[in-house]
Amino acid sequence: MIYSVFGLQLQANKRIPGLVEMSVAAGVDVQVWIEMVPPWLKEISEAAIELWYANSYQDRWGQPSLTVWRLADGEYFRLLYCDGTEFFIDRRGKEIWASWPDTMTLSDMTTYLLGPVMGFVLRLRGITCLHASAIAVNGQAIALLGPAGAGKSTTAAAFAGLGYPVLSDDVVALIDQGDTFGSQPGYPRLRLWPSSVDLLYGSAEALPRLTPTWDKRYLDLTLKGYCFQQQPLPLSAVYILGERRSDSVAPRVEDVSPQAGLITLISNTYTNYLLDKALRARELELLSRVVAHIPLRRVEPHADPAYLSRMCEVILDDFQALIPPAPASADAEQCQYV
């Protein structure tokens, strides 16, 4: 089975929930081995294992939510989550092995695979990723950026309800073209917390759970009435979701200085906690060019969720004033599935 995710062609030995299988593929970038451990693992000695990262957040038993080791002088990485789900990744980002305990499910593993694991694979392959969601407007991409809880996915879902295609959720993989940048499509799902589902659709039960063990829900963008942007688009603006305010000024959009914008982008890249010095240097150089060539705008949402649609209108009005519509493209806003 072959899938396209974040601009990479994945071949998997088993079905991956949430992805649409490709009937034709140009090649394979990443091989995913599901419910398997690498055959070379037994040959790795204890001396060749180095602790690389341990998340400061711990579960109730005091275990880090994520621990990462470098194996064999960094030729491989081992990622272990506190629920026992485990991944091995080669340094080139070309192979992934995934396994999990009996208490977890394939869907649980997929939430990691299509989030932080693929984010790390992209970084290993030299691709900078923003912690953002992205939508398509007039054949161009708008990134909605911000930390966890800022409302990226909720805002993207609100745009989806207004008929705008969704390009990616949570991870926006950048295409470096020098002075211009593109954004790769993710996969046709938006992940939403129950409170967001209740706000948008009237009940937390309106959308299915991502996994049987987690309360987060998902919006299937292949359903009638929604659109998943299947082709990459030029990234034309980044909207940074700021703190909510309750006065009559909100929602509003304001400019961001290059200095503040660069700091914000650096702090909102995806899986930046796993980068070595060389990757961090590459990221800083690229983000400096992003700030120099792409408008960065700060959004002040209203504290009242009822203003969400109004915030979408404010962003659209601001974007259309900044960026004239691009010529129609055969690659833009495609919603057919093959």
Domain of 162, CATH number, reads 3.40.50
- Do 143 and 48 have their domain in common? no
Number of domains present in the structure of the chain: 2
Q: Which two tokens stand for residue 162?
A: 């207004």
307 and 177 share a domain? Answer: yes
Q: What is the DSSP letter of 207?
A: S
Could you identify the residue written with the tokens 């092995």? 97
334: in domain = no
What kind and span of H or E run contains 291?
helix 277-293
User: At 114, phi and psi to the nearest 5?
Assistant: -85, 0
Q: Examine residue 39 and state whether it is found in any structural domain, yes or no.
A: yes
148 and 284 assigned to the same domain: yes
Considering the domain boundaries, does residue 336 fall inside one?
no
Residues 318 and 169 in one domain: yes
Q: Return the H-helix or E-strand segment holding 53.
A: strand 49-54
In a domain, 335, yes or no: no
pLDDT per residue rounded down to tens, the chain (338 residues): 899 999 999 999 999 999 988 876 678 999 999 999 999 888 888 878 899 988 887 777 778 889 999 999 889 999 999 989 999 999 999 999 999 999 999 999 999 999 999 999 999 999 999 999 999 999 999 999 988 888 999 999 999 999 999 999 999 999 999 899 999 999 999 999 999 999 999 999 999 999 988 899 999 999 999 999 999 999 999 999 988 888 888 899 999 998 999 999 999 998 888 888 888 888 999 999 999 999 999 999 898 888 899 999 999 999 999 887 766 554 455 555 43
* Boundary residue ending a domain (124, 153, 181): 124
Q: Please tell me whether residues 117 and 138 are part of one structural domain.
A: no
> Distance between CA atoms of 148 and 280, rounded to whole angstroms?
21
Q: Name residue 154's amino acid.
A: T
Beta strands in 120-255 (DSSP E): 129-137, 140-145, 166-168, 171-176, 181-183, 189-192, 209-211, 214-220, 233-241, 252-255
Whole-number Å distance between alpha carbons of 174 and 318: 22
Domain match, 26 and 99 both: yes
Domain range enclosing 163: 129-322
- Identify any residues that bridge with 76 across adjacent strands, giving them in sequence order: 71, 90
206, 148: one domain: yes
Structure-token match 């970038």, residue found: 29
Would you state the structure tokens that stand for residue 152, as one six-digit string? 């990226």
On whether both 83 and 153 belong to a single domain, the answer is no
Strand partners, 95: 31
Whether residue 294 is contained in a domain is answered as yes
Is residue 88 within 8 Å of residue 31, measured between CB atoms?
Answer: no
Q: CA dist 239 to 109, 233, 236, Å?
A: 31, 16, 10
CA dihedral over 195, 196, 197, 199, signed as positive or negative: positive
Q: For residue 69, give the nearest of 92, 86, 93, 94 by alpha carbon.
A: 86
98 shares its domain with 67: yes
Cβ proximity of 217 and 207 under 8 Å: yes
Cα angle, residue 259 at apex, residues 255 and 262 outer, rounded to 5°: 90
Same domain, 173 and 241: yes
